[in-house]
Amino acid sequence: MEMLWRLRRRQVVAVPSRQALQQARELELVESSPDEPLRLTPLGAKVSDSLSEYAYWKQRGRRHHWAEEIAALQVENLRGKRILEVGCGAGVNLLSLQRCAEVVGIDVEPLYLQFTGVLARLEGVPTPTRVCGRAERLPFEDESFDVALFHGSLPYMRIEKALREAGRVLRPGGRVLVIHGDLGQAIASRASQRRWRLLTPRVFLREVRAVGGMAVYPWLGRLFLEPFAPVYPTRRRMRRWLTQAGLRVNTHETCRIAHEVCYVAEKPAGIGR
Ligand SMILES: C[S@@+](CC[C@H](N)C(=O)[O-])C[C@H]1O[C@@H](n2cnc3c(N)ncnc32)[C@H](O)[C@@H]1O
Q: Domain check: are 213 and 195 in the same one?
A: yes
Average pLDDT of span 213-225: 90
Residue 53 lies in a domain: yes
Q: Domain check: are 10 and 27 in the same one?
A: yes
Q: Domain check: are 195 and 238 in the same one?
A: no
Tens of pLDDT, residue by residue over 151-204, are: 999 999 999 999 999 999 999 999 999 999 888 888 887 777 766 766 777 777
Distance 233 CA to ligand 1 centre (A): 17
Of 14, 40, 58, which one is at a domain's C-terminal end?
A: 58
Q: Inform me whether the pLDDT recorded for 271 exceeds 60.
A: no
Q: Tell me which residue range forms the domain holding 205.
A: 183-220
Q: Domain check: are 259 and 152 in the same one?
A: yes
For residue 265, what is the enclosing H or E element?
strand 260-266
Q: Domain check: are 40 and 85 in the same one?
A: no
Residue 146 lies in a domain: yes
Q: Domain check: are 258 and 124 in the same one?
A: yes
For residue 80, what pLDDT is reported? 98
Q: Domain check: are 148 and 254 in the same one?
A: yes
Distance 87 CA to ligand 1 centre (A): 3
Instruction: State the average pLDDT for the chain.
Output: 90
Instruction: In whole angstroms, give the CA distance from residue 252 to residue 241.
Output: 18
Q: Domain check: are 142 and 155 in the same one?
A: yes
Cβ(87) to ligand 1 under 6 A?
yes
For residue 12, what pLDDT is reported? 64
Cβ(5) to ligand 1 under 6 A?
no
For residue 79, what pLDDT is reported? 97
Cβ(260) to ligand 1 under 6 A?
no
| Number of domains forming the structure of the chain | 3
Cβ(96) to ligand 1 under 6 A?
no
Q: Domain check: are 86 and 172 in the same one?
A: yes
| DSSP 8-state symbol, 63 | P
For residue 23, what pLDDT is reported? 83
> Exposed, middle or buried: residue 54 (CB in 10 Å: 0-12, 13-18, 19+)?
buried
Residue 154 lies in a domain: yes
CATH of the domain at 105: 3.40.50.150
Q: Inform me whether the pLDDT recorded for 207 exceeds 90.
A: no
Residue 225 lies in a domain: no
Residue 215 lies in a domain: yes
Cβ(108) to ligand 1 under 6 A?
yes
Pairing of strands 82-86, 170-180: unpaired
Backbone Cα Rg of the chain: 20
Residue 226 lies in a domain: no
Cβ(117) to ligand 1 under 6 A?
no
Q: Domain check: are 214 and 96 in the same one?
A: no
Tens of pLDDT, residue by residue over 99-124, are: 999 999 999 999 999 999 999 999 99
Q: Domain check: are 17 and 75 in the same one?
A: no
- The type of residue at 39 is R
The larger pLDDT score, comparing residue 28 to residue 71, is at 71
Residue 228 lies in a domain: no
Q: Inform me whether the pLDDT recorded for 5 exceeds 60.
A: yes
Q: Domain check: are 76 and 210 in the same one?
A: no
Average pLDDT of span 35-43: 83
Distance 220 CA to ligand 1 centre (A): 22
Which distant-in-sequence residues (6+ apart) come within 8 Å of 63 by Cβ? 57, 96
Average pLDDT of span 19-33: 83
Instruction: In whole angstroms, give the CA distance from residue 165 to residue 143.
Output: 11
Query: What's the farthest any 2 CA atoms get from each other in the chain?
Result: 65
Give the chain's end-to-end CA distance (angstroms, integer).
46
Residue 238 lies in a domain: yes
Cβ(53) to ligand 1 under 6 A?
yes
pLDDT band for 220, please (50, 70, 90 cuts).
Answer: very high
CA-nearest residue for atom 14, ligand 1, is 87
